[in-house]
Chain A
Amino acid sequence: DAMVIQNPRYQVTQFGKPVTLSCSQTLNHNVMYWYQQKSSQAPKLLFHYYDKDFNNEADTPDNFQSRRPNTSFCFLDIRSPGLGDAAMYLCATALSTGGQPQHFGDGTRLSIL
């Protein structure tokens, strides 16, 4: 009964070739987050949506974009992936941004050739 679903689980792309990762949720949560997690490191927040309001982290590269067409879906677009973008990408949802737990999907492992 997965509530935050990420597809695909594994994605391989070529250096510089745009790639889109997807996330869907059945929780009807207001907030959706995208994190990047590299090996043996903590998740690093890239950006989040509160409803349709987009909030970018100051150190998120311009290469990373996001779209949220409706409550249930959120996409992460990497316009020109570099070797350093190889990582696990995690999507999370929450009812609100303060004082509420975030619920994570199982991530998409992105490899760059």
Chain B
Amino acid sequence: GESVGLHLPTLSVQEGDNSIINCAYSNSASDYFIWYKQESGKGPQFIIDIRSNMDKRQGQRVTVLLNKTVKHLSLQIAATQPGDSAVYFCAENRAGRGSNYKLTFGKGTLLTVNP
């Protein structure tokens, strides 16, 4: 389910199921997107990225889909494992001050995998 306020959106799945984590981005000029995984007490870890000239990219057990029409990004994790439990952030790369691009992070989704 999804929460509002300071609570992270959460997704709870059974081990072995596929997970889909969604993200809406705001700037149609954003041209590069990244998914990060952050485990408790650690820094964000790069999972997969995609450029705006693509609509799908696959990695090992992960797939990122980009829908520029509705400004939506999703991360699919196949055969979810307990080690996948973490907070997942999408990030968009858009122009910042002085034409320096910067990453802007989404609010994050807490994925919990039940054994």
Chain A residues near B (Cβ < 8 Å): 4, 6, 40-43, 45, 48, 50, 55, 57-58, 90, 92, 97-99, 101-107, 109
Contact = CB atoms under 8 A, between A and B. Distances in A.
B97 A55 contact: yes
Contact of A104 (B44, B98, B100): B44
B45 interface: yes
9 contacts: A6-B43, A43-B105, A45-B103, A45-B104, A48-B102, A99-B31, A102-B103, A103-B46, A107-B43
Given A42-B105, A99-B31, A99-B51, A90 B43 contact: yes
B102 A40 contact: no
Interface of B: 6-8, 31-32, 34, 36, 41-46, 49, 51, 89, 93, 96-98, 100-108
Contact of A55 (B6, B31, B100): B100
B52 to A, nearest CB: 10
Contacts of B45: 104
B43 A97 contact: no
Given A41-B108, A92-B43, 17 more contacts: A40-B6, A40-B8, A41-B107, A42-B89, A42-B107, A43-B44, A43-B89, A48-B100, A55-B97, A55-B98, A57-B96, A98-B93, A99-B101, A102-B46, A103-B46, A106-B42, A109-B41
A99 B50 CA distance: 9
Contact of B97 (A57, A103, A105, A106): A57
Contacts of A92: 43
Contact of B100 (A41, A50, A58, A101): A50
Contacts of B41: 106, 109
A103 B34 CA distance: 11
Contacts of B89: 42-43
Nearest to A102: B103
A53 to B, nearest CB: 9
